[in-house]
Amino acid sequence: MRHSSAAAALLAPAVAGALGLSPAAAHAQNAPPAARAAWIKACYDNKHQESLPCGHWRLRLRDGRDAVVRGAAGRGIDGKGRAGAFAGVFAISADGRVMAYERAGDHRLVVRRTAGGPVTELPPAARPKGVGSDEIDLSLSPSGDRVLIDYFDAPDRLPTKVITVATGSITALSPKHGALGFSADGDEVLTTRTLSDNTTAMYAHRLGGGVIRRTPPTLVINAATHAPAADGTTVALFTTSEKKPPRVRTYDLATGRLSAGAELPLKPDATPYLAWWDAGGRLTATVRTGEEGKTAVVRVLTVDPATGTATQADKYTIGSKGSTFVLAGE
């Protein structure tokens, strides 16, 4: 399943240049709105006797309009290059300004600003031979300058890759690690790994080199969502309880200090499932309601990790009739 966060994009500065997107998006003279999400509709396929993604991926913009992304493959391919019964890879950065997708035609993984402009190809190694689109878990750093790719290969042999979009340089992480996401500035990747004593250790990998590691309390590992801050050691957590509202806390990987945190003004089942620190250092979380395959109500909240105070930054609905969607930051 995919989703992402639409959020904080309001503060992004104006982007120069024309959209280069489809006619569905009427060109505005000023800064084009950031993307909240991307989606692709489903059509019943008589041959497969099931609903399959069809047509083009579309961006859902902050102003409510849709913009067709013609260059992106609507359907992915399997490991042998055949059309799959699943959508093509698609991701949007948390700030809603950058997207990554597999290109229609050659299925090469590429990165582009959601406002349009030149397409940056990721190195061919981003998509190892024999890896189907449904085996690729791709996410972008909050501002879209880096890409994290995990592969659902079994047994787990392919290293997780971190690619700097501008240079194409690749940092490989051991396949023994599971990635939880980028720090706010994209300079660190947070991972976990199970050790021989059956505990799970948490690591902050500095992409320039160096790693901080600690075995945290169970609560930290079991948290629903983790968001590493720009300092690379503070991790915001959202935990869930059966009968109490979700709670926000911070954990410092360098010192092991876990904050008492605070409950959020949310229902127990409204678990923030995406979270990141925006460019202004504010913690942002996305809450989604609605069952799988049905229309989702997405709320983007700015959260004070000390008090639990939450302010709604955005709210929208997306997904219906079996469509596939991915939220910004997912």
Partner 1 sequence: MRAKILVVLAAALALSWPATAHAEPHGSHTGSHTGSHTGSHTASHTGFHSGSHSDDTIRYASIKSCPVKGGGTRACGDWRLVMHSGERTTLPDAQGVAREADGSSNGYVPAAIAISGNGRRVAYFTKKGRLAVRTLGGGVRQFARDALPKAAQYEVTLLLSDDGARLAAVIGGERPADTRVFDTETGDLLGTVPDEVSVLGFSGDGDEVFTSVPADESVTDLVVRGLTGEELRRATPPQVIEANVPQALAADGRTVASLVTGSRAELVTYDMDGDQVTGRKRVKLPAGDLHMLDWTGETQVTAHLAGHSSGATRMTIVQIDTVTGQVRVRDRYTVLRDSYVFAACGG
Closest CB to partner 1 among 221 and 279?
221
Closest CB to partner 1 among 21 and 220?
220
Closest CB to partner 1 among 169 and 307?
307
Closest CB to partner 1 among 70 and 257?
257
Q: What is the 3-state secondary structure (H, E, C) of the chain?
A: CCCCCCHHHHHCCCCCCCCCCCCCCCCCCCCCCCEEEEEECEEEECCCCEEEECCCEEEEECCCCEEEECCECCEEECCCCCEEEEECCEEECCCCCEEEEEECCCCCEEEEECCCCCCEECCHHHCCCCCCHHHEEEEECCCCCEEEEEECCCCCCCCEEEEECCCCCEEEECCCCEEEEECCCCCEEEEEEECCCCCEEEEEEECCCCEEEECCCHHHHHCCEEEECCCCCEEEEEECCCCCCCEEEEEECCCCCECCCEECCCCCCCCEEEEEECCCCCEEEEEEECCCCCCEEEEEEEECCCCCCEEEEEEEEECCCCCEEEEECC
Least separation in angstroms between CB 218 and partner 1? 5
Least separation in angstroms between CB 284 and partner 1? 21
Closest CB to partner 1 among 210 and 268?
268
Binding interface with partner 1 (CB under 8 A): 196-200, 215-219, 221-224, 239-244, 247
Least separation in angstroms between CB 34 and partner 1? 33
Here the tokens at position 220 are 């930290």
Least separation in angstroms between CB 181 and partner 1? 19
Q: Classify residue 249 as exposed, middle or buried by CB count within 10 Å of its CB (0-12, 13-18, 19+).
A: buried
Closest CB to partner 1 among 200 and 320?
200
Least separation in angstroms between CB 102 and partner 1? 35
Least separation in angstroms between CB 272 and partner 1? 13
Closest CB to partner 1 among 222 and 317?
222
End-to-end CA distance of the chain: 10
Which residues have C-beta within 8 Å of that of residue 244, sequence separation ≥ 6? 263, 268
Least separation in angstroms between CB 227 and partner 1? 16
Closest CB to partner 1 among 222 and 312?
222
Least separation in angstroms between CB 323 and partner 1? 31
